[in-house]
Amino acid sequence: MQRILSTELTGHIDETVTIAGWIHRRRLLKQVAFLIVRDVSGLSQVIVTDPQTREQLERLSEESVVEVTATVTASEQAPHGVELTGPVIRELSRVTVPLPFELHRPALTAGLPAQLDHAALALRHPSRALSLRIAAAAAKGFRESLEAQRFVEIQTPKIVESATESGANVFKLDYFGRPGYLAQSPQFYKQLMVGVFERVFEVGPVFRAEPSDTARHLAQYTSLDAEMGFITDHRDVMAALTRTIAGMLREIGNHADVTAELGAEIPAVHFTEALRIAGAPEDEPDLAPAHERALGEWAKKEHGSDFLFVTGYPMRKRPFYTHPDPADPTWSNGFDLLFRGLEIVTGGQRLHRYEDYVTALAARGESLEPYAGYLDGFRFGMPPHGGWAIGLERFVARLTGIANVRETTAFPRDLNRIAP
Amino acid sequence: MQRILSTELTGHIDETVTIAGWIHRRRLLKQVAFLIVRDVSGLSQVIVTDPQTREQLERLSEESVVEVTATVTASEQAPHGVELTGPVIRELSRVTVPLPFELHRPALTAGLPAQLDHAALALRHPSRALSLRIAAAAAKGFRESLEAQRFVEIQTPKIVESATESGANVFKLDYFGRPGYLAQSPQFYKQLMVGVFERVFEVGPVFRAEPSDTARHLAQYTSLDAEMGFITDHRDVMAALTRTIAGMLREIGNHADVTAELGAEIPAVHFTEALRIAGAPEDEPDLAPAHERALGEWAKKEHGSDFLFVTGYPMRKRPFYTHPDPADPTWSNGFDLLFRGLEIVTGGQRLHRYEDYVTALAARGESLEPYAGYLDGFRFGMPPHGGWAIGLERFVARLTGIANVRETTAFPRDLNRIAP
């Protein structure tokens, strides 16, 4: 099929061309019918005056797929100054059921549940498609920034023998007759791969059996993971992350008119300072969403930044693989990155000596056994290292101002939804 | 830590520098000790004459991680013409257990099970690390070729309500108290996303509960999926795939000295012709591995090509979503791509009309119900489309001459292995 795209029409005035796409809208006036065809690049207007073609069009409802061969005609009133005249329409597939909602209005009027039930249709709306394009650009920018910084891409197992993060929220499966679990993160695998490539990254699904149904949790999300060796401490990781976020925003800017304020350095405050700024009691063990929001406002006001690092979270609130602050082991070399007052990245320096893992687990009263398969690799020499994980959907939601992460992924999975 | 890499030493002759890496090997001679340090870029030779440093080195066994500050000295005998002298060694982490196998020999002498049991160590061997670098380059080449052809990256659910390919070999899990399954492919999701972006791709894990333990099956592998709309038939898909494979080989060539014979067009034979070439009976319903090998030899001899398309597989051996050959519906518009006599890609044109899915399932005596969630999207207008899936590990194995796919992935999963 030798077709051209709607955006290419202006280069073919007075020529006969073939376009193809979905019937976005028909307007059947008395003397003339307007057919708007949507393809991946945009809309084309087709003028139908021939009675037989009009009859054909009357039988083809919205979202039917057609190929249109016609003459490109300059027209001042038409979008982009061109319309198609004298069309021959070939039907590629016909819609014979009523659409659950209309696609041709500027905003989707259907509620989120209806959109998710009919995702294959809803995602065709430009507003929904744009989020997915931004997600694709974010992933591309992530990979390219990291490759430029000598990181190597890895693929790690999603079926694991035991939970990778302590505790619950793990999906259990039948692995050839014995128990297996879906990986909650590639945490230990990416750490072990630092022993191979020094710097690694992975873009892949992670699974959380989140028992709560909130606007910012998904049962499967895309994690943008990175891990790097031979660091002095978490600040080297924060510097690499800052460069990476800049690369992501740059790539997104090539595809969409959205951006965020990011300087050459992201401001950073210690956890104790963050509590003070947020007006929280100084013995608070973690930052609540309201605190994060207050910190986001503060970063914008004081530093003109949409991003803020919070460092030095209390050790007792961070996972056991976190490296303590050597100056005061109450605090950690772990950090979060807040984006407009929402945590979108967790990272930090990790323990790199096997003995330190043994000690850390014992201090928490946890058994080494479930982690033995991973930790074995730490016996064979690991450099000081650290890394991060960015939640892709949360990042896109925050960047675009979308309130619910379900709108930033094609086919979300949550407590109540396993289809389509 | 301000370190330089081993490959950067030649630019710093007579300067004091810091390198860091793993103790690859020590040779403790009477007068002098040689320390070989391995980093991600290669090896550095360090000359130790100072008695205290030598004593320190004697206590540090292979794979311990060190930082070495020393003078870069030109030396004709040393690898790359430089060695490090007068070193100060700082220990970053020490190996205190015997290594299960040695890493400093040209080939790993340990058997595959031992390598897999201690993957975090085995993967440090250059031969094992190279396969993973090639896999990373293949994925990068795949993505970049497709982006240049207007494909958009998507992420799809790995937890699904029902099997995506008919039949068994599916992992079952507990999804918030009801049954869920691990996706065997992103097949229907990528098809539905053709309705949004016309051309899409995904690089992600797929899961097969393969009950057999062979050298070419994994329970989790990385699938390089693509799907494109507005095609005439499967030949448009084959052309896009050929360009994509070329891009993958080009990118791999930037990282490793391996390649394959690929012309501007890959030779293609119809299934009936393939049976004849392979000397198989003409009523054979599929190609056995021996037939594929014979075809690989034929393609090399007749066309000088490492690749061969086999088209028109019998409909009864292809999945229900396959589009039949309009000229004779005994045969399909499905194809396989053989690489050196092994199937590494399956693809073809798909059905695009909802009614055709209903008919195809009925003709096979299969119920529509398990597929209803996916097929609903086909009611809303889909263009003629097709696509393919490349098995990344198989592709890398065939390219590098590795016999077992387990050696082309970091932490393989199979019938007997769920760890590390």
For chain B, list the domains and their CATH numbers. Answer: 6-93 (2.40.50.140), 121-408 (3.30.930.10)
Beta-carbon neighbour count of residue B212 at 10 Å?
Answer: 8
Residue B218 annotated as binding site:
yes
Read off φ and ψ for residue A31, nearest 5 degrees.
-90, -25
- In angstroms, the CA A204 to CA A182 distance is 13
Across the interface, whether the CB atoms of B230 and A143 are under 8 A apart is answered: no
Can you tell me whether residue A318 is helix, strand or coil? coil
Given CA atoms B22, B136, B182, B418 in this order, what sign does their dihedral have? negative
Which residues does chain A have within 8 Å of residue B413's beta carbon, measured at their own beta carbons? 157, 159
Q: Judge whether A364 is closer than 8 Å to chain B, CB to CB.
A: no
CA atoms within 13 A on the CB side of B239: 8
Nearest to B133 by CA among A197, A65, A268: A197
Can you tell me whether residue A3 is helix, strand or coil? coil
Nearest to B317 by CA among B188, B162, B167: B167
pLDDT at A79: 84
- Write out residues 3-62 of B within 8 Å (CB-CB) of A: 3, 20, 22-23, 39-40
Can you tell me whether residue B162 is helix, strand or coil? coil
- In angstroms, the CA A60 to CA A23 distance is 8
Our separate counts of H helices and E strands in chain A read 11, 16
Residue A391 annotated as binding site:
yes
Of the partner residues B147, B155, B173, the one whose CB lies closest to the CB of residue A173 = B173
The rounded mean pLDDT for chain A is 96
Residue B312 annotated as binding site:
no
DSSP A368-398: SGGGHHHHGGGGG---SEEEEEEEHHHHHHH
Give the largest Cα separation in chain B, rounded: 84
Can you tell me whether residue A234 is helix, strand or coil? helix
Cis amide leading into A420 (omega within 30): yes
- In angstroms, the CA A263 to CA A322 distance is 27
Across the interface, whether the CB atoms of A352 and B154 are under 8 A apart is answered: no
Of the partner residues A160, A207, A420, the one whose CB lies closest to the CB of residue B373 = A420
Q: Which long-range contacts (CB under 8 A, 24 or more apart) does A186-190 make?
A: A186/A154, A186/A156, A186/A223, A186/A225, A187/A321, A187/A389, A188/A164, A188/A321, A188/A371, A188/A374, A188/A375, A188/A377, A189/A154, A189/A156, A189/A157, A189/A374, A189/B410, A189/B411, A190/A154, A190/A156, A190/A225, A190/A226, A190/A227, A190/A387
Of the partner residues A159, A374, A418, the one whose CB lies closest to the CB of residue B220 = A159
In the A/B pair of chains, how many CB contacts fall below 8 A?
A: 260
pLDDT at B166: 59
Residue B391 annotated as binding site:
yes
pLDDT digits (tens, 9 = 90+) for A18-41: 999 999 999 999 999 999 999 999
- Write out residues 390-409 of B within 8 Å (CB-CB) of A: 392, 409
* Amino acid residing at B406: R
The CA-CA-CA angle for residues A359, A365, A367, to 5°, reads: 80
Beta-carbon neighbour count of residue B36 at 10 Å?
Answer: 19
pLDDT at A81: 94
pLDDT at A165: 64
Q: Residues with Cβ < 8 Å from A196, sequence gap 6 or more?
A: B120, B123, B124, B129, B132, B410
- Write out residues 218-247 of B within 8 Å (CB-CB) of A: 219-220, 222, 230-232, 236
Which residues does chain B have within 8 Å of residue A209's beta carbon, measured at their own beta carbons? 176
Across the interface, whether the CB atoms of A20 and B383 are under 8 A apart is answered: yes
Give, in order, the Cα–Cα distances in Å from A10 to each of A6, A84, A272, B6: 8, 11, 60, 55
Q: Residues with Cβ < 8 Å from B235, sequence gap 6 or more?
A: none
Residue B217 annotated as binding site:
yes
Which residues does chain B have within 8 Å of residue A39's beta carbon, measured at their own beta carbons? 198
Intervals of chain A under pLDDT 70: 1, 164-167
- In angstroms, the CA A276 to CA B238 distance is 62
Q: Residues with Cβ < 8 Å from B85, sequence gap 6 or more?
A: B46, B47, B70, B71, B73
Burial zone of B167 (CB within 10 Å; 0-12 exposed, 13-18 middle, 19+ buried): exposed
DSSP B264-300: SS--EEEHHHHHHHHT--TT--S--HHHHHHHHHHHH
pLDDT at B26: 97
Which residues does chain A have within 8 Å of residue B195's beta carbon, measured at their own beta carbons? 22, 120-121, 123-124
- In angstroms, the CA B169 to CA B220 distance is 12
Among all residues of chain A, which has the CA nearest to that of B3?
A230
Which residues does chain B have within 8 Å of residue A156's beta carbon, measured at their own beta carbons? 410-411
User: Are B49 and B61 spatial neighbours (Cβ–Cβ below 8 Å)?
Assistant: no
pLDDT mean by block of 10 residues, chain B; 420 residues: 92 97 97 97 97 97 98 93 98 97 94 96 96 98 98 98 76 95 96 98 96 91 98 98 98 96 95 97 94 98 97 95 97 98 97 97 92 93 98 98 96 96
ipTM summary value: 0.97
Of the partner residues B231, B379, B413, the one whose CB lies closest to the CB of residue A1 = B231
At which residue do the structure tokens 């950090």 appear? A335
Residue A301 C-alpha, separation from nearest chain B C-alpha, in angstroms: 34
